[in-house]
């Protein structure tokens, strides 16, 4: 190979290295976009718990190679939203109530802490946003729009978390609310009738009023009460619907 040939090949090699360097951030952006879209689909139940995840189909959906899709699945598995199986297959992690008591403990504690701090730290700008989010929630609840209610509810509590002024506490609180979306969609909103809507609207209004007054004690108490109100609905959803209503034998009857 002569000198001129070597000189011609050097730029080509440099370009190849540059392409490889550029490919990494592109792939990272791709995997992040897949992760964000799939995470939303899983939390909103657009992807049902237990459903199979086909890497080839997902790569086609996002117009990407399988590598960023696989990276996104790994990211989702770290949040226990995707379960990786042998032979490089995966499923949406089935929803279970096995750690529901731990989740509710964490949510109650975080809700109380964030509301108390928000009552002490809020300013007029934060209160305007909380009022706007409360009004959006009330409107969605009156329309009986479940998707709109979920979005508005998260918006209200996000506004409260920002009013607390504590970035770390607010982030943990918002993550906890996100984590509970599937449980709410499966066990809370199916029983979200007119009576429950009235209770929820009233509780959001009471929390807003307590924050406006800067009443930290009441804000904390209302936050805990709000979580427990939702928990009672979830518990009711797990009660047998028809199994105890029918006698299968002459001597069987439902205990009082």
pTM above 0.95, yes or no: no
- Nearest C-alpha neighbor of 185 from the set 29, 48, 60: 48
Q: Which CATH superfamily is domain 100-237 in?
A: GntR ligand-binding domain-like (1.20.120.530)
> Is 1.10.10.10 the CATH classification of the domain at 8-92?
yes
DSSP H helices, the chain, are 3-43, 55-62, 66-78, 100-121, 124-143, 146-163, 167-179, 181-183, 194-213, 216-237
Per-residue pLDDT tens listing for the chain (256 residues): 554 444 444 444 444 444 444 444 444 568 999 999 999 999 999 999 999 999 999 999 999 999 999 999 999 999 999 999 988 789 999 998 888 899 999 999 999 999 999 999 999 999 999 999 999 999 999 998 899 999 999 999 999 999 999 999 999 999 999 999 999 999 999 999 999 999 999 999 999 999 999 999 999 999 999 999 999 999 999 888 777 677 676 666 666 6
* Residues in CB range of 46: below 8 A, 6 or more apart: 40
Question: Where are the domains positioned within the chain?
Answer: 8-92, 100-237
């Amino acid at each position: 190979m002569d000198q001129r040939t070597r000189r011609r090949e050097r730029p080509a090699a440099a370009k190849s290295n540059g392409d490889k360097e550029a490919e990494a951030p592109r792939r990272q952006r791709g995997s992040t976009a897949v992760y964000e879209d799939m995470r939303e689909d899983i939390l909103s139940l657009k992807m049902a718990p237990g459903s199979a995840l086909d890497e080839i189909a997902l790569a086609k959906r996002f117009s990407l190679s399988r590598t960023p899709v696989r990276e996104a699945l790994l990211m989702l598995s770290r949040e226990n939203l995707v379960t990786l199986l042998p032979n490089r297959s995966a499923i949406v992690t089935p929803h279970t109530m096995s750690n529901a008591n731990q989740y509710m403990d964490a949510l109650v504690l975080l809700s109380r802490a964030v509301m108390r701090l928000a009552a002490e730290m809020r300013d007029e700008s934060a209160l305007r946003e909380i009022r706007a989010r409360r009004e959006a929630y009330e409107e969605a609840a009156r329309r009986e729009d479940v998707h709109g209610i979920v979005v508005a509810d998260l918006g209200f509590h996000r506004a409260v978390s920002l009013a607390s002024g504590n970035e770390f506490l607010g982030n943990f609180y918002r993550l906890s609310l996100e984590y509970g979306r599937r449980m709410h969609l499966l066990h809370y909103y199916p029983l979200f009738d007119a009576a429950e809507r009235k209770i929820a609207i009233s509780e959001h209004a009471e929390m807003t009023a307590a924050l406006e007054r800067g009443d930290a004690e009441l804000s904390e108490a209302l936050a805990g009460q709000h979580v427990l109100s939702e928990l009672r609905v979830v518990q009711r959803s797990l009660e047998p619907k028809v199994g105890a209503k029918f006698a299968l034998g002459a001597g069987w009857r439902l205990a009082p």
